Amino acid sequence: MNKAKRHEIFTRLRAENPDPVTELEYNSPFELLIAVLFSAQATDVSVNKATRHLFPVADTPEKMYALGVDGLKEYIKTIGLFNAKAENAIKTCKMLIDKHNSEVPQTREELEALPGVGRKTANVVLNTAFRQIAMAVDTHIFRVSNRTKIAPGKNVLEVEEKLLRFVPKEFLLDAHHWLILHGRYICTARKPKCDACVIEDLCEFKEKTSS
């Protein structure tokens, strides 16, 4: 895929959604961190349902840590893998209190040192909470990048590196949101909605499948 085509793709995605945001509900970097930690192998919808009850009573590391693992489980038991997520969240709260003055750190290294926080979670927090250029590649972004040929890669790290290299600079800050929303609602896994796609004529998926 050439540079001009990529530029036009993101121009159209931006025109359709000028101010893209995450669908996770949060009011602070801490709430976003916890929500993203909970969202692994779970839907944003299921996470939001749980955190709507959790965050009003535990919106700081201290308040959440005070719940304890068992107390936290009661709020998130409808989310997949809630046992492990509760343990990681409580350990993360403890580290935030002890090492970061209860503030969410703003570097990848410090974020990834938190229990349950991997590269993708760190990238979401850096990009969404702190508006740093970062590309959190989930299954949707991996699929869209490979299917359209915007940034094909064999694994998530390869796709992440290619996106950071190939996406025009003016779109880099919000590219993560455009791609994830496009993959979630249009370029779906089993049956992509090509007829409803604003970049359908630029996508190289059909060229491959029709040849």
Q: Which of the residues are catalytic?
A: 120, 138
Q: Please state, in angstroms and rounded to a whole number, the distance separating the CA atoms of residues 202 and 142.
A: 18
For residue 116, the 8-state DSSP code is T
Of 18, 34, 30, nearest in space to 174 by CA = 18
Contact indicator for 123, 158 with CB cutoff of 8 Å: no
Contact indicator for 153, 113 with CB cutoff of 8 Å: no
Contact indicator for 112, 33 with CB cutoff of 8 Å: no
Tokens of 92: 């993360």
